[in-house]
Structures are given as structure tokens and as C-alpha cells.
Amino acid sequence: MLRKYHVVGISTRIVVNTFGDHNPNGKIYVLKENESKLKDLVRKNPYKPIDLVQPLAIRANEGDIVEILFENQLPFSAGMHFEEADYNVLTSDGANAGYNPDTTVEPGGEIVYRLNASQEGIYFFTDLGNVSSTEQGSSVQGLFGALLVQKRGSSWTDPVTGGPINSGVYADIHHPILPSFREYAWFFNDEMEIKDLTGNRPFNPMTNQEAESFHGVNLRYEPMTNRKRLMEAGVVCPDCDSEEVHHDSWVFGDPATPILRGYVGDPAVIRLIHGGVKETHVFHYHVHQWLGDSSNINAEILDAQSISPQTHYSIQPLYGLGSLHGAIGDSILHCHLYPHFGIGMWGINRVFDTLQDGSQCYPNGVRIDALKPLPDRPAPPKPTPEKPGFPNFIPGKVGYKAPRPPLGIVGGREMTELERNAAIPNPRPGAVFVDPCLDQDPVVVEFNVSAIEMPVVYNKQGWHDPKGRFYVMDEDLDDILSGKKEPEPLVFHVPAGTCIRMNYTNRMPHILDGDAFQLVTRTYENGFHIHFVKFDVLACDGGNVGWNYDSAVLPGQTIRYEWYAETELKAFFFHDHLFANSHQQHGVFGAGVIQPRFSRFLDSRTGDEVDHGTQISVEHPLIPDYRDQTLFVHDFALLFDKNGRPIQPPRYPGSEDDPGVFGVNYKCEPLKFRLDEDCDPAYSFSSYVHGDPVTPILKAYEGDPIRIRLLQGAHEESHSFNIHGLRWKEERPDLGSSMKAQQHIGISESFTFETEIPASGDYLWAFEDEEDVWLGTWGLIRAYSSKMDDLIVLADREALQQESIETPKPTGKPPEKANPLASLPPGAYHGSPVKKFELVAFQTPIQYNTYGDHDPYGIIFALKEDVEGILSGQKNPVPLILRANVGDLVEVTLTSELKKELFPFQDGIHPYPQVKEQSFYPPSLRISLHTSLLDYDVKTSSGDTVGFNPDQTIGPGETITYRWLVDGQFGMCSMWDMADLRNHRSYGTFGAFIAESRFTTYLDPHSLEKVNTGENVVLRHPLLPATREFVLIMHDGVRLEDKAGKVIIDPMDGVIPDTEVLEEVDTYDYGSRGFNYRSERLINRYKEHPLIHELFSSEIFGDPATPLFEAYPGEAVVIRITTPAERRRSHTFHLHGHYWKFDSKDLDSRIQSFIGHMVTGHTDDLRLIGGAGGVFNFPGDYLYRSGNIRWDIELGMWGIFRVHKDTKQNLPRLEEVKGEWDDEKEA
């Protein structure tokens, strides 16, 4: 079917809430049929939100051809670029890239884009005519939307009227065979320009400073600061503080942000879309869960999900609205990053239990809009005076805080008559209006937990939080308060099928004192909000949301909650929801773990049965026993040193500009405290030199199965978790899933990594971007080969001998040198085919582009045969890329030629790009090489001198040979130096290892001769089609100088147009960026030719310095991509006109054209569906790029994939590559 839309790009005032906050320079897409009406409404209502002023959501069906007539009424050239769609890149790309015709439109012009909607899903669109990250840009000001493609044969109607609609963020979707469902488009966006009623930047009444930048949903936001002013003026709730009623509709009425309405049990899909430009957010949805990959029934179950700029996901709540148990009420949806949540990035999912026909009102008198029941579901009952339905049975008072739930508070109130009429037949504390415990005779477990405040010491150097706040089992109270037990995040364990009853007491003071970090806050109540499990959202949410009850508790009171753990759901997060912005970073978080049914939980040291702890052993009658170990990373840790000096305080108390430092389980081990007498960073991780870290050491025996539960407890940042020497399935329940050794994590996310310890030794775990490691977020997994007194043996494993081997002790001296050739990787055997590489690490300048931007202090790995050509200038360095095949035993011989005088900062204090808590940390002359995913003996070939392992680094003139076994077709594996993460990696000590299929040979794409390395090769295989393999190494945190030798201070020096003065940026945003030691910074092009929409044009500038990849239409292509370095800012990767499977190993995996939240250690393999040119094999130039408009694209994170129509003399077609065996023995 041909479906047509006429879309107009316009400038308009965007009013984002009922307080009159607005963007005077907004840019949006709108249907032509709504343009006049929209402009008239905006003119007549200059301070009122207008429904039409939202991101444009249009719809089509699978198989449709969609023609978009785009009319540009903006003051700059603009267009519409569509992700996921199939289109002719020469006519419908919405960009001006390479040698393609310009498919942006000048002001006043028009163009027709023709798209093929080949599969169901989200086709996000935005403008690439103006990629400025400033307020003069387009995406940052609201110019984005989505084409929502439905199953073939679908239709859609207005949820209020039931009539047909052409656009809108809400629709009911119908199908002749499949169930109807509610569809909600939820667009995150950030950094948009905002003014208040006075025309100034919004003001924070708590700090008397400018408020945080805009973070909103569907071009709306509802900041805590605005609502606070109403309380200060005495308009509402004069006895309230602020945060505890931020989401309370009893006090303020409903927010301007989205309210997703439905009836209990309605099927629904939330189209989660990030239209913003900078931050990676975490979407959290109370009460509900969904599959992380909606196409794969074996995917992980989530209730919080990270989302990076220009990425998108379909959230399909399992069991429909209200989840399995049919909860009614208001479930909040929000970004879990607390500064974003506080500034207004939230909305509500309102689940009704009675029919809404437009005749009812909310308690404050506001009419409830009609809501048509889905046609294939029974209509809900009509409200009656005796049973008015939610929210009208709740005995609240408008203008005042929501009432407490009945039965919940010990010594509290009973139910009113209306509440009794609405209640379940057997109401009880925490389960009043819905019964979460669905089993007829569930196992019931009861816990007594308190929240307390006491000082928490984070390390031996005396860093401490004088106002540590955390949860504790009542049975442990005395031991923790007396110092017999150290505080750690509370983790309790229950088997699946358990009904959990929690008696929760608030023992915290009602005042959080002020200091250099925070203002005095009256934190007079708190709650116990829990993720994943089933609960009554009205009475048991642990929060205060919408028209629900306030299910928190005052100091000295106890409240009773009830939850149901219906299935093994990994670890689930809990925290306070009332004053989370104020004190969660002090430690107010924990987790429960739903273990398999019939499990027993044991103290790993004594063997005693336990029900809580971050490290336990689990026995089970049917599956192998395992070690269970939980790690929480948290940032914004507000610590003081031993002298009472605040560590990294903000500019003023109450600021959320990244205050404080980081920790893991309330501990940190900063590298600056781990220098030996020779001041060599190469031994910072060595327990021989410095003793063990204070961070968790997870103990096991070699061969033990382990499950690592990874969570983030606070507060805003992205982190990258890596384990050296171990790996796990990306989708744990899916046998066909890819293997990973790294995981991005944002606050409230939870992951379980199931693996086993292959051999004894110390395995490094780390949140491994530069600043995280520097501040101490690392520790060890220690695997023993013989019986230890402080670690029980798992019951189903063979008894271990108590050998007379002494546990190593710190000596203060570097350990003995490792001898990798004396042992084999655990999975290898004598006779494995050996592949050898000779490498050299040395210093050399690196040219990043033709404009003279360069790194004069580069440190690289290269094949020995290439060193002379690089040093003589005949070859410009590229990151080292090695390949080997499954079954190969790889011997990598590394020689160091590092020279002390060639390091730029002899004291290790980098003026730029800096990290928090900089201090003396001189560069190491030692170096090493670590790789992910491959099999090796962690004691000799991991490339890191960690714990009590031998020394795996080398000094100048020294050589070491590592042994790695390629025991799986892992594809992209990352490589980097581990001798000095602070002074080496950002200068280039990284690369890639690619684990290829057995019998593959690698050919130069131009000569078809065999090669040993290269970012662009042809893979030849005797049984498989020839494939082009392109390798991209995405990296940031680079220190560049221009051709005159002046340091380039990015991002500030790279912003276009260069008229806006940037405020101070976060430490992890400093540094230049690029692919493969190349960067095509747009500012260089802009200075030559200041037309933003033409900056990607090769007609004007020639091709960019970043890798140019070439192919012919339909040729098989795989892109290997990794991010081995360096900073904590997450990146998005997007390739125009193509898509691939989310998990390249899994046929059931979803299709996408992007990769989100790419941080240190990330690896991916993108097998392009349809090959070069996409499914329709269109020739042309396709951009590959970051999706972060602020600041990645400006700083050069983009390049071109060129698909030639005609044969080129220096590029043989793949049809010329014949599969053949290398030798007769292989055949």
C-alpha cells in the first residue's frame, strides 16, 4: 500500500508545562493538515502546553511504501533521516553526505522521501541538515519524530473518540487476527533551550541558582523546583518539604508530562525513543516488566533499560497493564537518573478499573477524558457511588499530601467503607486492592529491615561518608552499630514462588544535615520501593505517585509491605522513592535475589544457612551448586577525607554537577594510593606490592560455577563493567546468545552473569573507563586450587585436598615475572595449531586528519614488520588489529620500546583531558596487552599484574609472549594495555582481536593477497560466501594538537557554530574523539565553508579522514566494532540505510540499525542484512556515525561506507574470490 504524508518543519514556541516554562526557539515536525491550527493555538496560548506541539508520530504497516513530502519552513536547510527504513540513499537519505545528491531542503523548499517499511517497529527520524549541538541546532530544539510501523493489516484509532487518526503519540492499534493494544510513543529528549515566564533561565528556589538543564518527555517536563515554589508560597501543602510530594497529584494535580491511560489487563506497547542529543537515560516502569528483546521469548526480563541518543526500543509489558496480578492505580515511568528525574523527566501510566466515558472527574474536579475500551476486550464496569473506581475511593484531601494506605502502618488506620468496597476479599497489610501472591498456598518469608544513618568508611586512607544511610536487617543492627560488622548494601535471597512480607522501620533522622555537597533537607519520611516483583501499587509502591497513597513511613514507624517473587528474575533493585535525590547516593539502596526454587543459601565461609549477604553459596538438588556474588557500583558518593576535607565538592551546595566520587559496595580503592617506592603504575593492581584492595574480593575454587549480580545503586552516570579472563552469554536464558565480557550499566539496572572459573588465579573485575578505575571501582575474583579455611567447598563438587600451600602475602616488591610459555590456556591442548605475532609497543606521532590535528605523543602497538615504515613516516599508524581462527593457539610476542622522555606529563597530572582527584602518578615505562573473550591462563597471559598473579608487563627492551586460545567464533574482541590506564590508553594503546571461523583466510580488498592485519579485509572461506570485513575502533578522551601545536580543548573548541560559550563540562566529556586514530572534526570544514548542511559533502571537501569502506551492492558485509577507550560518556553508533540483528548469533533477535550505550570494553559484530546497500541493494554513500549530536558528530565521529554501482579498477568484486582450502590437510 502506498501511504502519503505531507510533513512541515517549522519554528514554534514550545510550552513545556503549566508553569509557563517554554522554548522560544523550538523546532518541530508537524503534518501540513495541522499546521495552521497549531500556529493559531500557539499564538492564542503563549504560556499553555499545546497537544499538537509534541514529537510527530505517524504510522504505517509492514509492507507499505511511505511517501513523505517534506516542506521546510525553518531558517536553515533541513531534512528527515529515517532509521530502520529501506530507501534509495541517493534520493531519500535526508542528508548531504559523500558524493550523494543533497537530500536536505533549503528554506522554503520541498522534497519527497520514499521509504519501504519492511518490518514492524520504530522508524525514528530527525534532521541532519543542522547537527550543531548548540541552541542553534535542530535536534536539540525538538526536531525529531517517529514513523511507527505496525503489523501488516493493522488500523489505528483515537483512544478518546474511537475515530481514525493520522498522527499522535497515543493510538489504539487494531488487527483482524491479533489482539488490539494501546500504543504510547514516549520520546526522551534533553538539553533543549528553556526560559521561564520572565524570559530567563529557570531558577532553583532551593539553591538560588539556575535550575538543571531540560530533561523531558514528549517536549514536556515537570520539575520539582516549580512545584516547590507553590509550597513556599503556601498555595499547597505548607507542611511538606519538596521531593517527597514531587509526583503527588493530591497536592499539585496531574503533571504536564505524559499520562498513559488504559484499563487493567489491556495489552500495550510503549515505543521508547531517545530523540535527545547527549545523555544515556535509564527508562524505568513501576510494577511492569518486559523482554529486553521483544522479538525473542528467551530474552532477559527487564524493568529498567538504558537508552542512548537516537536509539529506540519497543516496551511490551508482560501480561498487559497492571501486570500479572492486575494492579490498578498510577505507575510512574521515569528516567532513573536522579538529577533528570528531579528536573521533570517522568510521567504516569494510569490503569483504571472502571469505565471512563467522560462524565467522571478526578478528586480535584478536573474532568477525566473518555477512554474507549479495546474492542476485543470486555468493557470494565461502570462506576457507582459505592464503587467509584480509582482514584475516587481514596480518602485524600486536595492540596495536601496523599493519605497513608490502610492497614499498612503498624498502629495505623483501618479501611473506610469505599476502600472496603474496592478491596480484595482478604485484604492485609501491603496487599489491599490486589493480591500479588497468586499461588493458593505460597511459601511466605518475612524480613525485618530498618533504614539507619551512621558514618561509613570507604578505604584505608580514611575516605568516608559521615552521613552514610543504608538498609540493614534488624538482626544485624547491634553488630553494625557497634562496628563488629562492616556496612554493605543489603542483599536478601528468596526462592522463586515466595510471598515476601517486609516489616520496614524508619530509624533515620528526619534531617539530612547540610555540608559542602548538600543543603539541609528535611528527609522526614522514606519508603522501600522495589523493582521486578509483583505488588499492590496503590498501597505498597514505597513511593508517593499520582492519585495513589503515600506508602512511606515516618521516623520511628514501621510499615508492612508484601511482594511476590513469581519466577527466577535475577537480582531486583530496591531503594527509597521519597527522598532519593537527597540521600540515595549516601547508600540507600540494596537488592533481593530470586533464586531457583528449592535452593538453600549458605554462608560461603562457615557453611551456615543464611538469608542475606552479598556473597553466598547456593545449593540445589537439580542444578549445579554455585557461588552468588553481588556488586553495586554507585557514583555521586559524597565523601570526605580523613581530615574532613570534602572530596570533589560541587561549586555550591545542592548542585548536581557531578559531585563526589565513586564506590562499589560502599568501598573504593583509588589508584593514586597504590604507587610503590619506584612510583610505577604497572603494579597498582598488585597485591604483592600493595596488599589486597578493600573493594570486594569474590572467592571461589577453580571450576566453580558463579553468578555475579551486577547493579547500580546511585546516582547518574553510565559505567562499564568488565571481567578479565571470564565471559558470559549476553542473553542468559538463550542458549544461542553471543558471549560477552563487558556490560554497560545505568542506575537501577540489574544483570546476572553466569559463568565458571576455568583455573586458579586472581581475575580483575573493574568498571573500566579511565576515571572509574582511577577512583577505585575495581576488585578481584580469587580462585583457589586447594582447600582454604575460609571458603567451603560446594557440596556437589569433589572434595579438595588441604594442601600446605601458603596463601601469598604482600612483600612490597613487584612479583616474579610471568612465564606464559610454561603453561597452556585452560581449554588448549598440546598440538593445537599455533599462530604467532611479533608486536612492538612504541611512541610515535599520530595524524588524525588532513587539517593537521594530531597527537604528538601517540603510543601504539604494531606488527614488528611495520615499525620502520611508521617511524619513517611512510605509514600513518592505525590501531593494531589481529585475527586468528577458531582452534588457533595464538602466541603474541610483545617488545617494549617506550622512552621516558617522550611522555608529555612526567608527573602524570594531565591538565587536559583531566579526571577527578588528579595527583602524582608518573607514567609507567612498562606496558602489556590484554584481550577480552579469548581463553588464557589469567596468571600469565591476561596482560595485567593483578592480585597475587605474576608480573605480566614488560619494561623497555623486554619481551613477553602471551598465549591466547581462540575457543569460539567470538568475532570482535577488544585489546588494550593494562600497565598504566591513566597515562597510556588515551594515547593509543588499544586495538582489536577478531576471532574468525575455522579455515578462514584474510585478503587485502584491493590486491586479494593474504594479509596479517588491517581494518578492511576480505574473508575467504572454503564453505562460506566471501565477506567484506570492516573494523571500527571508536574511542574518545584523546589529547590532540592542531597544526600549529596548540592543544585542542574539546568539546569546547569543536562546537559549531563557534559563537556559543560553553559552560564547564563534565570531566568525562573532555577530549577529542574518532574512529581508528582518525577524526573528521566538523569545525575544520566549517571554517573553510560555513554551511552546516554541506559539512558531510565529499563534493566540497573530499572524503573524510575516517576509514572509507567500499563494497558493491549486495555483497556480504560484517562490521566489527569496539570501544576500548576511554571515557564514561556512552556513545551510539548508527549506519544509514542498513540494519542487522541485535545479537548476531541469534535468529530470533530483533532487527536494528544502531548500537546504544557503547563504553569501554564494548564489542559488537554487525552482519548487514541484505549486504551492502541494504535489502534493496541501493548504491551510494552511507554515513556511519555516532548518534550523539552533542558532541560526537561535531568532534569527528563519522565516516562513509561507499557502495559502488560500477566496477572500480582497484576494488575486485567478491564474486572473484573463490572459496578454497589453504592446504590439502585442511581439506
User: pLDDT digit string (tens) for 180-222?
Assistant: 999 999 999 999 999 999 999 999 999 989 898 999 999 999 9
Tell me the per-residue pLDDT of 19-38, one tens digit each, with 9 for 90 and over. Answer: 999 999 999 999 999 999 99
Across residues 148-162, what is the average pLDDT?
98
Distance CA 305, CA 336 (A): 9
* C-alpha distances in Å from residue 345, one per residue of 186, 214, 283, 745: 11, 9, 10, 19
If pLDDT is split at 50, 70 and 90, which confidence band does 55 have?
very high
Bridge partners, 68 (sequence order) = 5, 113
Residues whose CB is less than 8 angstroms from the CB of residue 369 and which lie 6 or more positions away in sequence, other chains included: 160, 261, 356, 358
Residue 1030 pLDDT: 98
* Count of CA atoms in the C-beta half-sphere (13 A) of 914: 13
Tell me the per-residue pLDDT of 1182-1207, one tens digit each, with 9 for 90 and over. Answer: 999 999 999 999 999 999 999 999 99
- Say which residue, 1057 or 51, is predicted with more confidence: 51
If pLDDT is split at 50, 70 and 90, which confidence band does 1146 have?
confident
CATH class assigned to 1036-1214: mainly beta
User: Is pTM beyond 0.85 here?
Assistant: yes
Return the minimum-mean-pLDDT range out of 493-502, 803-812, 914-923: 803-812
Distance CA 497, CA 612 (A): 18
Residue 442 pLDDT: 85
Res 1226 pLDDT > 70: no
Dihedral angle at the C-alpha atoms of 163, 169, 170, 175, nearest 10 degrees?
70
Residue 329 pLDDT: 98
Res 1059 pLDDT > 70: no
Is 1.10.10.10 the CATH classification of the domain at 2-221+257-352?
Answer: no
The whole-chain average pLDDT of the chain stands at 96
Where would I find the beta strands (DSSP E) of 905-1026?
A: 930-931, 959-965, 971-976, 990-996, 1001-1003, 1016-1020
* C-alpha distances in Å from residue 652, one per residue of 86, 266, 658, 661, 736: 50, 47, 12, 16, 51
Q: Residue for cell digits 535471597?
A: 493
Distance CA 1218, CA 624 (A): 47
Full strand arrangement of the beta sheet holding 144-150: 56-61, 144-150, 121-126, 81-82
Element (H, E) at 636: strand 626-637
If pLDDT is split at 50, 70 and 90, which confidence band does 732 have?
confident
**DSSP annotation of 738:** P
Res 992 pLDDT > 90: yes
Residue 798 pLDDT: 87
Q: Where are the domains of the chain?
A: 2-221+257-352, 820-1014, 1036-1214
- Local structure of 379: helix, strand or coil: coil
* 897-874-994 Cα angle (round to 5): 65
Residue 860 pLDDT: 98
Across residues 936-953, what is the average pLDDT?
98
Q: Do 2-221+257-352 and 820-1014 share a fold?
A: yes
Res 1221 pLDDT > 80: no
Residue 801 pLDDT: 77
Residue 1224 pLDDT: 54
> Do residues 1172 and 115 touch, judged by C-beta distance below 8 A?
no
Amino acid at 263: Y
Where would I find the beta strands (DSSP E) of 158-309?
A: 170-174, 181-190, 203-204, 209-210, 215-217, 259-263, 268-274, 281-285, 290-291, 301-302, 304-307
Full strand arrangement of the beta sheet holding 846-847: 846-847, 854-855, 1040-1041, 1047-1048
Dig out the grid coordinates for 124 from the structure.
525514528
Residue 1062 pLDDT: 65
* 895-898-900 Cα angle (round to 5): 155
CATH superfamily of domain region 820-1014: Cupredoxins -  blue copper proteins (2.60.40.420)
Distance CA 1221, CA 1202 (A): 30
Burial class of residue 550 (count of CB atoms within 10 Å of its CB; 0-12, 13-18, 19+): buried
The answer to whether the peptide bond before residue 464 is cis (omega within 30 degrees of 0) is: no
Distance CA 563, CA 583 (A): 24
- Local structure of 1092: helix, strand or coil: helix
Across residues 847-863, what is the average pLDDT?
98
Residue 1218 pLDDT: 83
Strands 697-701 and 778-784: parallel
Across residues 652-665, what is the average pLDDT?
95
- Say which residue, 806 or 1213, is predicted with more confidence: 1213
Across residues 1059-1077, what is the average pLDDT?
86
